[in-house]
Each structure stands twice: as C-alpha cells, then as structure tokens.
Structure 1
Amino acid sequence: MTENPHPFSTLTPAFIMDAVESQGFVCDCRTLALNSYENRVYQVGIEEGEPLVAKFYRPGRWSDGQIAEEHDFCAELATHELPVVAPWRNAEGQSLFCHDGFRFALYPRQGGRAPEFDNLDNLLILGRFLGRMHRIGAVAPFVHRPVLDSRSFGYDSVELIRDRFIPPELRESYTAVTAMLLEAVDAIMAETGAVRYLRTHGDCHAGNILWRDDAPHFVDFDDARMAPAVQDLWMMLSGDRPRKLAQLDALLEGYTEFNEFDPRELRLVEPLRALRVLHYSAWLARRWEDPIFPATFPWFNTPRYWNDQIIELREQVAALAEPPLELP
C-alpha cells in the first residue's frame, strides 16, 4: 500500500454497494467497472430490478452547483423527450448524493454502440437531435459551469505543460509553436465576431453517444459548458475536405429542421480543434498522479510523445490558415 493512496482507491465493491444502498436499493453483489478516467463509473446489479450505473465524481473538480446544473440540464432535455440518459432522482427530487466523502449520482443502464459517423443517414438523425438540444440549451445560460475559451483550454494548458512537463530540450520549440497557435486562434475568434454561446454537451464524440434502435442516446454531460453550437458538431467531421463537407451537409440538414445555425461558426472549427489538442495534453498532465492514468496512457509524457505533439501543433497552425468549411 502506498503512503499517499489516490482517493479513488477507497472505491471498493463494498463501498460502492453501500453508497447505492444508501438510496434505498438492494444490491445483488455484482459490480462492474466501466470505462471512465475523469470520474469512476460502475454498473451495479440490483435485486429484482435492472442494473444501475453509479458515477462517483472526482473530488475537487466540480462544485455542487456545477454538478446540479449538469443534472438539471439533462432533466430538462429529457422532459422534452430528447434521448439523453439523465440521472435518477429520489422522492425529494435529489440527484446528487454523498457517501463517506464521495459525491455520486445514479443512472439507468443504457445499452448501445458507438455511432457510425461515416453513415450520412446517421449524421442526419444526429443533427436533428442536436438542433433540438441546442434550441433548449439557448433558453437560459449556465450560471456556475464554465465557458469554453482560449484562456481555460489554451493558455492555461500551455503554461502547465511548458512549466512542468515538456523536456528542457523541447521547451523552446513547444513555446514557439503554441504561441503561434494561440495567436492564430485568438485572431480567428476576433475576426468571427460575437457568436451565440449556449448550453452544450461540450464533449460530443462517438464515445459519448450510444446508438440503439436507429437512434442516438447522449450520455456523460460531465463536460457540459457554455460554448458555440459548432462545439457539438465538429467532432463528428473527419476525412478530407470533400468528405467533411458531405458530413457537414447531412448534419446541418437535420439540425436546421429544428434550429438555426450561424454559418460564421464554421470558421471556429479548427480553432476549437486546436484548443482541444492543447487541453487534452493538459488533462493527462493534471491527472498523472492518478494511478489509472500512467497505466492506461503509458505513451504520455515521453520524449516521443512531446516530439509528436509539437509536429501535430505545427500541422494545426497550418490548418488554421486554410479556408474554413463553407455551406453550399
């Protein structure tokens, strides 16, 4: 046993079942860890009932108010019959619970597989649901949850990596390329002008969408934040430019059936991609003391990783200079 075990090490099967049973359920002693790194998520068997999914929040990441906004947003979307997996609420309407120092939430189990973004019919369907989601997301803002901006995702990420992780022999190159990247990101955002920020899923990649019965189910709103609508669209685009344009056309065909889309936001696709690249490395760095991270991402924080990262950032600088995607 280490002298300073990580807080998540206390999440034994007995602890998990005690937490679930504190809300009136009776567990059948079956627990299964699900893929999750930021938080810890488990499928828990329930006697005479369907299994539940228990999500234990990483200590210190979100405030109670920020988690409440995540839950309330999901509940609001579910009320409008959108296919989101919202947290269970008890008779008093509570969805965030505490057990022996850990905050947790319970969810119904939702099966499904990752959607095929290469299937244009799937993108049409996803666009319709995202159009509806954003129409609701624009009704009121988040008060406690953050805004996606170049400071939090970009500059803060670069400062952490430059000061604590990048090897000395690569620091100059990393500093130079990230300075160029963030200067270009800020310039493009300024040139684009004021666009509408609304409540978004925030991390709408294939792993957070479960496809079943020809329909998507959106899960894990843990990164929900105020952002432009295109933040929930651009991660579904891949391939060369003609392929991206075909995917975009399908997405927006469905999206605009329910909501307007500001075409100026297409100029933000590559800046948002650049910020995600920076933020992802910083996320790994911030979590490196969690034992699951070195075990799962052994390639991180190696000289090869940082060399590849600098090359990727240079390619992203070039991408920022390319003409943006445009609607026909």
Structure 2
Amino acid sequence: MSIQAEVPYERLGPDQVLDAIEGLGIMADGRLLALNSYENRVYRIGVEGGPPLVAKFYRPGRWTEAGILEEHAFTAELVEADLPVVAPLLIGGASLHAHEGFRFALFPTIGGRSPEPGDRDGLRRIGRTLARLHSIGRRTAFEHRPRLDVVNHGVAPVEALLEGRWLPAHLVAPFRAISAQVLATIADIWAGAGQFATLRLHGDCHYGNLLERNDEILLVDFDDCLSGPAIQDLWMLVSGEGDDLRRQWGWLLEGYSLFADPDPREFALVEALRTLRILHYHGWIARRWGDPAFPLAFPWFEEQRHWETLVGQLQEQLAAMQEPVVIS
C-alpha cells in the first residue's frame, strides 16, 4: 500500500536531545536511554550531580500548545491535592519548552513496580486513587483536550480504515457491515445511559500506566487525558469472566466508593467503551503508518489474517454489548 511518508522525528537525534536539556541550564552527563514510546519520543537522561530526568518530546502536530498545557495544569492540580501522579517539572517557571521546532517537557524519574492485576488490595488502592482523581476532575472542564464519544473514537477511525484501503478486498463489505452495526449499538447504549457526568480523566488507565510504590498507586503518563465518563478510567483494570470478574469489580468499587459514588448507569458503557478502544487503536496505527517506527512495531497490521480476526472480534463485541451488564 502506498502512503505518504511521515518522519516527524527525523531531525531529533541524541545531540539535539542533549542540546535541548542543556539549553535549560541542566548539565547532562552524556547518558541517554530511549524509553518505549511510539506516539512521542521519551528519553532517560543522566544529569551531572543529580538524579536522572525523563524528557518527553511531543509528536509534532498532535496536540496544540494549549492542549499540552492543559494536561500539565491538570497534573499540577492533582499534585497540589496530594494525589500520587507524575507531573512535569517547572523550570524557569514553565513546564513546556521548545527546541528546534520540538516541544518537550521534563519529568522526575520515579521508581516503582507494576501492580499485580486482579489483586484485591491493589484494586482497592487503585479505586481509592481514581475516586480522588475524579473528584478533582469534576471541578472544572477541559477546553482544549479531546472528548470521548462515538464520533471521535468510533466513526472517525472506521472511516479512516475504509478510506485508506487497509482491508483485503473480500473483507471490505463484512467490515463495513459489522462496523455499522457496532456503531449503531454503541450510539444506542450511549443514549440509553442517560445524562451521566462528563469529567476530566486520565483517559488511558491500564496497568502499564500505574506504579506501586510505598504502598500507594502512582499514576503516570497523562498524554491521553480527555473528557468522558468516570467508568473509562476503571474498566481496563478488571479482566476475566464470571465470579472472578465480579470479584475484581467489587474490590475496585469498594475502594472507589470511599471517596466518590460510582454512577451505576455507566456500567452499561463498559463493552461499548471496549469496542471504541479497539476501533480507535486501529485508526491510530493507520494514521501513524507513515512513521517508520510503526511498520516495524506493528507488522501484523498488513496481514490478511489480522483483519479477519478483527471482523470476528467486532462480531463478538456486538454480542457482548447486547448482553446484560453484570458488575456485582
């Protein structure tokens, strides 16, 4: 498939990274380690006479400056409320900096380990932390960050996949048909849930963005923070089926209920949100395919078997969305 090349980080090499850091008056010691990140470029940088720092260079054109600063302001507000989150450092009174056309931020290096999925005490701690975050998230609204909805996270990715001719010819019609069905079902579920609250969220709250440290749960990487229902920050933290799934939900909500009241209407959104994430994920890869890092990281995206699997997965999600929701 022919696609226009996109090399947003072509001009960003080790010398440019170190020059950017030292331009802020921070003397690097030459140690530079690239960390795992596809959307942005993230580095662990050694600092003379001090602990290492993490530098995140934002993908050009993805967020407006106002959107990035709103992310930073949200994390600063959480830190002010004594929430365990990793916020960008203020250097010269600013959290966002620029160097040779790139915008970047510096963060402290924080140690910790990933929480054990499905652990009772861990889920209770996570629930407490997220409830406190949501209580602050309700105080005001984002103006420059995305909103989680059917159009942005469902309709737009489907259109991008169909227009980009990603699917094998024999799967275009089945994908179009099942996508139309799942999008209509999601819209019905969204409307049926009623007037649930929309608040500022972490937005991408899975175990990879959590650290367990000193018996508390630390939230990292607010790059995808957005507006949406509170359940978006909860559903990715539970897994399994039957009694095991119900137990995990019970532990998570037990902790959450100590600081906030979960809205039971939002439970109906869980499978719809899962389906939107599947569609949005595929749209994201398609949009980034011109970046040389993406074909290397996701070679299966061009394989016929993958798209056959996706059509089947969407059929399964359609059935799951039509089943009664059982949380406890």
Return the TM-score normalized by structure 2.
0.97
Q: Is the counterpart of residue 106 in structure 1 residue 101 in structure 2?
A: no
* Cα deviation, residue 188, structure 1: 0.8
Query: Aligned partners of 1:275, 1:163: CA distance in 2, in Å?
Result: 18
SS in 2 for 1:54: strand
| Cα distance change on mapping 1:193 and 1:69 into 2, 3 Å | same
CA deviation after TM superposition for structure 1 residue 4, in Å: 6.3
CA distance in 1, matches of 2:268, 2:320: 11
Report deviation, 1:325.
2.4
Give the alignment of 1:1-328 within 5 angstroms: 6-92=7-93, 94-164=94-164, 165-327=166-328
Does the CA contact (< 8 Å) of 1:86 and 1:107 recur in 2?
Answer: yes
Q: Take 2:57 and 2:162, find their aligned partners in 1: how far apart are those partners? A: 31
Q: Show CA shifts across 1:159-188 (max 9, x none).
A: 011121112211000001111101110011
Separation in 1 of the partners of 2:103 and 2:152?
Answer: 25
Over the residues paired in the alignment, what is the CA RMSD in angstroms? 1.2
What SS class does the counterpart of residue 9 from structure 1 fall into? Answer: coil
Shift of 1:289: 0.8
Deviation at 1:131, TM superposition (A): 0.5
CA shift for structure 1 position 7: 2.3
Deviation at 1:5, TM superposition (A): 7.0
Runs ≥4 in structure 1, deviation > 3 angstroms? none
* Residue 257 to residue 4, structure 1, CA distance change in 2 (3 Å): closer
SS in 1 for 2:10: helix
Deviation at 1:112, TM superposition (A): 1.8
Distance 1:228 1:278 in 2: 18
CA distance in 2 between counterparts of 1:242 and 1:216 reads 25
- Counterpart CA distance in 1 for 2:175 and 2:293 is 27
Query: In the alignment, residue 120 of structure 2 is paired with which amino acid?
Result: L
Q: Distance in 1 between matches of 2:28 and 2:96?
A: 19
What amino acid is aligned across from residue 84 of structure 1 in structure 2?
V
Aligned partner of residue 45 in structure 2, secondary structure: strand
Paired-residue identity, % = 49
Distance 2:280 2:111 in 1: 29
Does the CA contact (< 8 Å) of 1:263 and 1:326 recur in 2?
no
Residue 323 of structure 1 deviates from its aligned partner by 0.6
Letter of the 2:92 counterpart? A
Tell me how many residue pairs correspond in the alignment.
Answer: 324
Conserved 8 A contact 2:182-2:318? yes
Matched residues in 1 for 2:49 and 2:130: separation? 35
TM-score (norm 1): 0.97
Kindly provide the CA deviation profile for residues 258-314 of structure 1, in whole angstroms up to 9, marking residues without a partner as x: 111111110000100010000001111111111111111111121111011101111
